[in-house]
Chains A and B, each alone.
Chain A
């Protein structure tokens, strides 16, 4: 019985300690970002591995998500004779919810896990401590550029996802199912608001980019420096990012669209 309480208390305390460490880590990153700005080379390299390499998966998934929305939306809307509003349905669900959320989930799987594995292996092979020996701060040299790259890439990827999804919906709705092209775009334009829909979607994706990069880098930096520890850290990155994205999405949606 005593053992049970001991392990329970230990796990609670250690999870609080981890939360505290991650907050300190975030502060260190934010302080380190300033040193990245005079060195754009570091940033381009990370933008390549975080953003450009996620480009294809985001585009293809966005296109298919848009096509599926077009197809399903058409069947439901045609029951009410309201196929013309297909564009509104596709664009609103993409721009408000699916674009930021699905793009962030894919981003966590594609780029977040890679970041964790990279940092974790650097730690396991003692490259990070080697840098410290040479008086180079690994947070400034390694972590901060990656964080900034994730933070910049995420909104761009989410915007790409939504735009390509809308085009995918148009390909299916207008091209295959025969919705009027003019109605598809004009209903969309007259219903979606720039500030309420587009800006809020972009804010969501910025928040998700911040959270996913933070979780991925922290899990890598905090990983147990063994091969098993790195693999666990990678799993935790994907799982925790998914929880954080979906939970935050609910809160953000309630804040942004709640009072309508």
Chain B
């Protein structure tokens, strides 16, 4: 039996290691560190088809992540996909910003790319972006390709 002093030290060390591991999981493995929920504003965009876009999909400008998709719903009257996104409050966007859905790599996840326009006005909370281009659905493309070939 070791004396109780070393035992206590070892227990302390063990608990410290365990808590470090918990912190490591929270900060390094999960997305907790990239969260800044309080400093965001919400804007919306209507897409004809939002494809495989998911809640928490990234939103980028020129390849830099500026926010996340927060909600995807269907507009009941016009049958378009309403995508709400949280944008980091540091980035102010012109009112004529356009949004397009792209795929990262051939099989990768889908994300929204914003293309800022030249307007003087800025997008504010809950504004709607008008210029959007929908997700490219691979099957549609292939289908089009085949029907065009046949008609020739």
Contacts of A153 in B (CB 8 A): 14, 18
Closest to A43 in B: B11
Contact check, B25 vs A55: say whether CB atoms are below 8 A apart.
no
Known A163-B24, A166-B29, A194-B32; judge A55-B4 contact (CB<8 A).
Answer: no
Cβ proximity bits B19-43 to A, threshold 8 Å, 1 near / 0 not: 1011011101111111100000000
Interface size class of A (residues with CB under 8 A): 35 or more
Question: Which residues, 10 to 25 on A, are CB-close (under 8 Å) to B?
Answer: none
Q: Given the complex of chains A and B, what is the CA–CA distance between A80 and B33 in angstroms?
A: 30
Contacts of A230 in B (CB 8 A): none
Q: Is A197 an interface residue (CB 8 A)?
A: yes
Contact check, A189 vs B4: say whether CB atoms are below 8 A apart.
no
Contacts of B33 in A (CB 8 A): 189
What's the least CB distance linking A59 to chain B, in Å? 9
Q: Is A156 an interface residue (CB 8 A)?
A: yes
Q: Given the complex of chains A and B, what is the CA–CA distance between A52 and B35 in angstroms?
A: 34
What's the least CB distance linking B132 to chain A, in Å? 23
Contact check, A41 vs B15: say whether CB atoms are below 8 A apart.
no
Cβ proximity bits A37-80 to B, threshold 8 Å, 1 near / 0 not: 00001001101100110010000000000000000000000001
Which one of A48, A80, A198 lies within 8 Å of B10 (CB-CB)?
Answer: A48
Q: Is B17 an interface residue (CB 8 A)?
A: yes
Contact check, A189 vs B34: say whether CB atoms are below 8 A apart.
yes
What's the least CB distance linking A121 to chain B, in Å? 16
Q: Given the complex of chains A and B, what is the CA–CA distance between A182 and B17 in angstroms?
A: 25
Contact check, B7 vs A190: say whether CB atoms are below 8 A apart.
no
Contacts of B107 in A (CB 8 A): 80-82
Contacts of B34 in A (CB 8 A): 189-190
What's the least CB distance linking B20 to chain A, in Å? 8
Q: Given the complex of chains A and B, what is the CA–CA distance between A94 and B28 in angstroms?
A: 14
Contacts of A193 in B (CB 8 A): 30-31, 56
Contacts of B17 in A (CB 8 A): 55, 156, 160
Contact check, B25 vs A190: say whether CB atoms are below 8 A apart.
no
Cβ proximity bits A99-142 to B, threshold 8 Å, 1 near / 0 not: 00000000000000000000000000000000000000000000
What's the least CB distance linking B55 to chain A, in Å? 10
Contact check, A159 vs B29: say whether CB atoms are below 8 A apart.
no
Contact check, B4 vs A156: say whether CB atoms are below 8 A apart.
no
Q: Given the complex of chains A and B, what is the CA–CA distance between A66 and B30 in angstroms?
A: 17
Contact check, B30 vs A192: say whether CB atoms are below 8 A apart.
yes
Contact check, A198 vs B11: say whether CB atoms are below 8 A apart.
no
Q: Given the complex of chains A and B, what is the CA–CA distance between A45 and B8 in angstroms?
A: 8
Q: Given the complex of chains A and B, what is the CA–CA distance between A191 and B57 in angstroms?
A: 9
Contact check, A51 vs B30: say whether CB atoms are below 8 A apart.
no
What's the least CB distance linking B10 to chain A, in Å? 5
Closest to B15 in A: A156
Q: Is B67 an interface residue (CB 8 A)?
A: no
Closest to B24 in A: A163
Known A80-B107, A190-B31; judge A198-B25 contact (CB<8 A).
Answer: yes
Q: Given the complex of chains A and B, what is the CA–CA distance between A197 and B25 in angstroms?
A: 10
Contacts of A185 in B (CB 8 A): 28
List 27 contacting pairs A-B, 8 Å CB cutoff, sorted by A.
Answer: A44-B7, A44-B11, A47-B15, A48-B10, A51-B11, A52-B13, A52-B14, A55-B14, A81-B107, A95-B30, A155-B18, A156-B17, A156-B22, A159-B18, A159-B22, A159-B24, A162-B29, A188-B29, A190-B58, A191-B31, A192-B29, A193-B31, A193-B56, A194-B26, A194-B30, A198-B29, A198-B32
Interface residues of A (CB under 8 A from B): 41, 44-45, 47-48, 51-52, 55, 80-82, 91, 95, 152-153, 155-157, 159-160, 162-164, 166, 185, 188-194, 197-198, 201-202
10 cross-chain pairs, A with B, having the tightest CB-CB distances, nearest first = A156-B18, A159-B21, A194-B32, A194-B30, A163-B21, A160-B21, A159-B22, A192-B30, A52-B14, A47-B11
